Amino acid sequence: MKILVCIKQVPDMESHFRPNGSATWFDESDLAFRMNEYDEYAVEEAVKLKEQLGGEPEITVLSIGPDRVIEAIKKALAIGCDRAVHINESAVASKEPWQIASIIAAYARSIQFDLVFTGMQSQDRGSAQVGVLVAELLGIPSTTTLVGFAYADGVVTATRELEGGVKGKVRLKTPALVTCQLGLNSPRYPTLPNIMKARKKEITTFQAGDLSSEPPLTGSSSFRHPEKKGSGVVLEGSVDELVEKVIVILKDKTAVLR
Amino acid sequence: MKLLLVGEYREGRLLDTSAELFGFAAAIGGDASIFLVGSAEDVPAFSGALYLVDAGLYGEYNPEVHKQLLLKAVEEVNPDLIVFIHSSYGWDLAPRVAASLKVAQVSEVIGFADNAYEVGCCNAKMHRNVTPSTSKAVITIQAGAFPALQSEGTPLVKVLSTDVASTTEFLGYEPAEAKDVNLAKAEIVVSAGRGIGKKENIEVIRSLAKAFGGELGASRPVVDAGWIDHGHQVGSTGQTVAPKLYVACGISGSIQHLAGMKKSGFILAINKDKDAPIGEVADVLVVADVLQFVPALTAKLS
Ligand SMILES: Cc1cc2nc3c(=O)[nH]c(=O)nc-3n(C[C@H](O)[C@H](O)[C@H](O)COP(=O)(O)OP(=O)(O)OC[C@H]3O[C@@H](n4cnc5c(N)ncnc54)[C@H](O)[C@@H]3O)c2cc1C
Ligand SMILES: Nc1ncnc2c1ncn2[C@@H]1O[C@H](COP(=O)(O)O)[C@@H](O)[C@H]1O
């Protein structure tokens, strides 16, 4: 059995974001990058499945981006993926979901994976498109927003998270693609011995342009801080001053403190 | 502009969010048609073409088949814009339709100007405009971004059918778990976010909740990490609360969290990041370390 996990490297969301020169996206300098949170669940689920099947499946982890994404790839290898594909694209920020999906599909088509795991969305772009688009391009069934996953004999039973705490159960036959939601499992931390072992695992590099050269279907502009709407106040200062101020405001503006 | 709106059903009922599609259509203007996989028993008042598919025959979740049926409606209407709600149904079906038509998709739209759609990014901290470069486009609109509007009139119903085989088998719904904590009734809710750092620090937030005489809430990562149980979760997949006072401790203010608490009477947020999107809804944003500020506030209140 062959499993593919797609991971994206995204900036730490606690960063201060500034627009790049053309305001199409953020300026990357000074940002710390990490694995997209949703993809951590995808990696963990793939590794759990490998363990369930006695280690038989081979897991390939794939990431598109500049050299910095190798750090995220190494983490996935240390967690238990077997091999990696780094698709080099220095201008990954200007690639929109259709292009990213076309690149992934171009690679995946040649391997014929039985199962593909992606995150349900990336934290920076948040399009929730790439996973489903890959499945459509490969012509395989897919389902999204998994909070439960079970596999037996070529059949995936997925629990999807719907609104208001309701869930939906879906069954699909492999080859298939699923997108992972927060809370699907408890992602493990890589251990030191596994980090060492991961160093020996193979990372194959492709150039994105050699796989697909689809033109973009959308353009991006005016990347900015949202306009402040409310009349909220921002308080800064020493903790003691802040506590005093907050108590005065709560007494004045709410009926909860007497 | 010609619009094709895609509504949603759950267990035979048209979902309330569908009214936001009408709100969007009214705001952007143009001729709207609507596509529904649902039931003739519950169709909205509407004065345009309504493409109806019997969910009894094809199921409420059956993406491959819904896609094929929707493509039939697209062929008849020839819309410029196909509009979904950004929901578990919408974000699942929209990319399939966009891929089949090979047209642009813009996800989680909150506004528009000219041919560009405004969307949030970087966990709602930033916004940007996305412009489709294809003549048709698919969009999903953020739940709550456009007003719910009851439309009027009698729709011209056209029934669609297909014999395309489904690739996914829907096994059924699982109802929401019973809530052991009723946050909705509380006058004060004090919630812990990932910013508290570790499980043990829940107690710091619990003490503040006690000092206020309120209930303890939480953001999703706190629940997912097993620091507290799901009954405490506030947000689109947790509880919706509107207390007199909501205190957000180390919570960034994602759309899904805001959906559950933005109607609170007074919102106090404590965050070390001045840019955190919770600042958009907070009456007071205290820029501080929760682990320093919260114990100090608790001590003063007790
Ligand atoms: C379909 C869907 C449904 C979802 N449903 C929900 C839901 O119901 N409820 C929900 O909450 N989320 C939900 N989410 C997740 C949501 O998108 C966010 O990931 C989540 O709300 C983030 O939680 P957080 O703010 O606690 O954590 P983060 O976003 O990680 O924010 C932590 C914050 O703490 C601050 N911080 C860090 N350290 C400190 C410190 N020492 N002192 C002060 N501040 C500090 C940081 O600046 C940051 O702003 C959903 C997501 C999806 C896709
Ligand atoms: N550059 C990338 N490299 C590999 N996988 C990606 C990339 N971008 C997005 N993905 C995958 O697609 C999912 C959805 O991303 P998005 O459509 O951007 O919200 C992510 O969770 C990843 O699994």
**pLDDT (tens digit, 9 = 90+) per residue, B245-284?**
999 999 999 999 999 999 999 999 999 999 999 999 999 9
Q: Would you state the structure tokens that stand for residue A136, as one six-digit string?
A: 């459509």
pLDDT at A228: 76
Q: What is the pLDDT of residues A58-76, one digit of tens each?
A: 999 999 999 999 999 999 9
How far does residue B76's CA lie from ligand 2's centre (Å)?
A: 33
In a domain, A234, yes or no: no
Domain B2-159 and domain B183-301 have a common topology: yes
d(C-alpha B106, C-alpha A246), whole Å = 41
- Which of these CATH numbers, 3.40.50.300, 3.40.50.720, 3.40.50.1220, 1.20.1260.10, describes B183-301? 3.40.50.1220
Q: What is the pLDDT of residues B97-106, one digit of tens each?
A: 999 999 999 9
Answer yes or no: do A218 and B64 touch at CB < 8 A. no
Pocket of ligand 1 (CB under 6 A): A 13-14, 182; B 123, 193-195, 219-221, 233-238, 250-252, 254, 256-257, 260, 270-273, 276, 289-291
The fold of B2-159 is Rossmann fold (3.40.50)
Residue of A115, A118, A136 to test ligand 2 pocket, by largest number of atoms within 8 Å of CB: A118
Mean pLDDT for the stretch of residues B65-75 = 98
In a domain, A246, yes or no: no
Q: Report whether the peptide linkage leading into residue A175 is cis, meaning its omega lies within 30 degrees of zero.
A: yes
Q: Which of B137, B160, B134, B164 is nearest to B72 (CA)?
A: B160
In a domain, A228, yes or no: no
Gap from A221 CA to chain B (nearest CA, Å): 5
Mean pLDDT for the stretch of residues B83-90 = 98
For the CA of B273, the nearest ligand: 1
pLDDT of B126 strictly over 80: yes
d(C-alpha B150, C-alpha A138), whole Å = 40
pLDDT at A257: 81
Confidence band for B299, pLDDT divided at 50, 70 and 90: very high
pLDDT at A164: 85
Domains of chain B by residue range: 2-159, 183-301
pLDDT of B109 strictly over 80: yes
Answer yes or no: do B280 and A239 touch at CB < 8 A. no
Number of domains in chain A: 1
List the CATH number of the domain containing A22: 3.40.50.620
pLDDT at A156: 98
Gap from A67 CA to chain B (nearest CA, Å): 21
Helix (H) or strand (E) run with residue B137 in it: strand B137-141
Global confidence as pTM: 0.97
Confidence band for A231, pLDDT divided at 50, 70 and 90: confident
Which among B61, B122, B134 has CB closest to A124? B122
Mean pLDDT for the stretch of residues A69-88 = 98
Helix (H) or strand (E) run with residue B118 in it: strand B116-121
Answer yes or no: do A124 and B104 touch at CB < 8 A. no
pLDDT of A258 strictly over 80: no
pLDDT at A17: 96
Is the shortest distance between the CB of A86 and ligand 2 below 6 Å? no
In a domain, A108, yes or no: yes
Alpha helices, DSSP H, located in A15-164: 37-52, 70-79, 97-111, 130-138
Say whether A255 sits in a helix, a strand or coil: coil
**Residue-number span of the structural domain to which A160 is assigned:** 2-211
In a domain, A237, yes or no: no
Q: What is the pLDDT of residues B135-153, one digit of tens each?
A: 999 999 999 999 999 999 9
* Residue B37 · residue B66 · CB < 8 Å: yes
Residue A154 touches chain B, beta carbons under 8 Å:
no
pLDDT at B179: 75
Confidence band for A120, pLDDT divided at 50, 70 and 90: very high
